[in-house]
Amino acid sequence: MAHQEGKLSWVVADAQDYKGAPADRSKTGGWVPAALILGIEMCERLSTMGIAVNLVTYLIGTMHLPSSTSANVVTDFMGTSFLLCLLGGFLADAFLGRFKTIAIFAVVQLLGTGMLALSTKLPEFRPPPCDMNKSETCQKASDFQMGILYLALYLIALGTGGLKSSVSGFGSDQFDEKDEKEKAQMTAFFSRFFFFISLGTLMAVTVLVWVQDEVGRSWAYGICSVSMGIAIAIFLGGTKKYRYKKSAGSPVVHILQVIACAIRKAKLQMPYDVSMLYEDCPDSSRIQHTDQFGCLDKAAIVTEDDFERNGSDGSMTANPWKLCSVTRIEEVKMMAGLLPVWATTIIFWTTYAQMITFSVEQASTMERSLGSFKIPAGSLTVFFVAAILLSLAVYDRLIVPLWKSWKGKPGFTNLQRISIGLVMSIFGMAVAALAERKRLSVAESVGRNTQNLPISVYYLIPQFFLVGAGEAFIYTGQLDFFITQSPKSMKTMSTGLFLTTLSLGFFLSSFLVSIVTSITASKDSQGWLADNINYGRLDCFYALLALLSLVNFAVFMVCAIWYKPKRKPESSKPLKMINGNGNGSYVGHGEEKC
């Protein structure tokens, strides 16, 4: 008996090994497998950010696209990358599992970077070279050439979406939350996860951008392909060491079931006592009923045809498409309650999008010499990354201890951190408008066709720093908010919901660029966002974003005050089965797992 108990202590209860047997704690999981997973995430960041931060200069200078069109190509690419995280999460939860999802989508990204390297190498995939600063008319890329480029970019976007949806979750699966030592290691893993993301981004905006500008884009993208190939081989090499956890099913299906049940029973009257509603979850995992979104409560009204006979033992079970428990409904309500805060954080990522599009284009026209070395325009985003890392360090080492000694709380709340990020983005866009106004005044004085303006690129550092520091606060605040305020069974989906704010922020940027271009352009002028930004009014566009961000911040404050934190579970109560005429009888609670 003692031998059996000792054997069980080496087993991780909710995890399996690669053969499907219970995972042996001594042979699976831990730091070594987690490190292999971190490697593939770093390569994903290297590829995606290395392409995104310098893509606008390639589209304008090589593919001869208009400035506004180039900016939209970049933001659409980044927006799609984050939007596809929802698809990756759904496939991982419902069908593939996290390991297979990572492996498959890493190969997809490898194919995308390889195709991008090929398209930038072969002259058949580019228009003839010309100098856009001279009077000669440059031939734009053909539909075929753009089609090849789009195919490569969106293969990379698909790979990124699949990877980001599962990498952090599969990494945390390597640690057992029920073991105190491994629980502490899991906390450390997330810190290292963010560090590896930042390290990959830092390498992308420095080394990779320099290779693109000085050696060749095909070489740079080839490096991305080779590094991802090596990362995949290392990742697959750890197959026998990983811990695998079974999926509980897609939260999207659960949400659809609640909505379907509520619509189906929309004409039924609610019972006079909410304790009559259906509940089948154990006491420890039940969620207290709330009055918000009361229309969904009808999904828990019990009717005679809601139950089906189980063929194996003849017992009656509820059809989840006809009847949902109160706890399941409250989980959906909790997700719905997150939406106002979710909506008011989208605009931040619209301002973020300008840092890798128009701000890079600004930098390309300014003096970038550092001694004998010329800083690549795309590498200016290194100040962005530095601001993130510095802000996190100052917050953890200085603000948190001071706030704890003053207020007795371990730092700002998640909503407070989000608000700080939003405020910083407002100031960031205001400062960007002033810097652009200064740049335009120099362009006007020396000639708008001047290729390298006599104004230092360091004028752009404040806007990179403010928006970068804002990201440090809003990213951690959003992630904390969506994870802690969502139901336990919907953590993966809530992370995907958070990532869609990034996606929609990029898409909103594309939409605003298109609208502003169509409104301000005329026969005699290309408007605020001219092909040559020396002839445009980018400062007005930045000022518009500052104003929109200010209005959005006011709406966010209202939503933050309205938001009610999630409730704790409460004890069970009897339920009542309702028949067609509104009468009913009490039935017992089931003790099934929710």
Euclidean distance between the first and the last CA atom of the chain, given in angstroms as a whole number: 33
Count CB-CB contacts under 10 A for residue 562.
Answer: 10
| Amino acid in position 200 | G
**For residue 37, what pLDDT is reported?**
87
Highest-pLDDT range among 94-108, 129-143, 534-548: 534-548
Backbone angles phi, psi at 323, to 5 degrees: -145, 130
Domain-wise residue ranges, the chain? 13-247, 251-324+568-587, 338-563
- Here the tokens at position 358 are 């128009």
Residue 400 near residue 453 (C-beta atoms within 8 A): no
**For residue 112, what pLDDT is reported?**
94
Backbone angles phi, psi at 376, to 5 degrees: -60, 145
Backbone angles phi, psi at 372, to 5 degrees: -90, -5
- Report the distance separating Cα 231 and Cα 233, nearest Å: 5
User: Is 567's pLDDT higher than 90?
Assistant: no
**For residue 3, what pLDDT is reported?**
45
**For residue 470, what pLDDT is reported?**
92
The two beta strands, 11-16 and 369-370, are unpaired
- Here the tokens at position 133 are 């600063």
User: Is 172's pLDDT higher than 70?
Assistant: yes
The β-bridge partners of 576 are: 586
In terms of Cα–Cα distance, which of 457, 466, 385 is closest to 46?
A: 385
User: Is 7's pLDDT higher than 90?
Assistant: no
> Would 13-247 and 338-563 be classified into the same CATH topology?
yes
For the chain, the C-alpha Rg in angstroms (whole number) is 27
Q: What is the pLDDT of residues 392-425, one digit of tens each?
A: 888 878 888 888 788 777 778 889 999 999 999 9
- Here the tokens at position 265 are 């029973």
- Report the distance separating Cα 173 and Cα 479, nearest Å: 18
| Amino acid in position 534 | N
User: Helix 326-343 to helix 538-562 angle, to the nearest 10 degrees?
Assistant: 150
Q: What is the pLDDT of residues 283-301, one digit of tens each?
A: 777 888 888 888 899 999 9
Superfamily of domain 13-247: MFS general substrate transporter like domains (1.20.1250.20)
**For residue 102, what pLDDT is reported?**
92
- Range name among 87-96, 201-210, 447-456, 568-577 with the lowest pLDDT average: 568-577
- Here the tokens at position 310 are 């189980």
- Report the distance separating Cα 21 and Cα 47, nearest Å: 36
- Report the distance separating Cα 205 and Cα 203, nearest Å: 6
Mean pLDDT of 79-97: 85
Q: What is the pLDDT of residues 444-487, one digit of tens each?
A: 999 888 888 899 989 999 999 999 999 888 988 887 888 778 87
| Amino acid in position 287 | I
* Mean per-residue pLDDT over the chain, rounded: 84
Q: What is the pLDDT of residues 248-262, one digit of tens each?
A: 667 888 889 999 999
H-assigned helices in 265-345: 326-343
User: Is 193's pLDDT higher than 80?
Assistant: no
- Here the tokens at position 63 are 């593919």
The two beta strands, 369-370 and 316-318, are unpaired
User: Is 246's pLDDT higher than 80?
Assistant: no
- Report the distance separating Cα 260 and Cα 299, nearest Å: 8
**For residue 61, what pLDDT is reported?**
86
User: Is 133's pLDDT higher than 80?
Assistant: no
**For residue 1, what pLDDT is reported?**
45
Mean pLDDT of 94-102: 86
User: Is 194's pLDDT higher than 60?
Assistant: yes
**For residue 104, what pLDDT is reported?**
94
Non-local (6+) Cβ contacts of 184 within 8 A are none
**For residue 587, what pLDDT is reported?**
38
How far is CA 420 from each of CA 184, 210, 397, 480, 561, rounded to the nearest angstrom?
Answer: 29, 33, 18, 14, 15
Mean pLDDT of 354-381: 84
What pTM value is reported for the model?
A: 0.77
Superfamily of domain 338-563: MFS general substrate transporter like domains (1.20.1250.20)
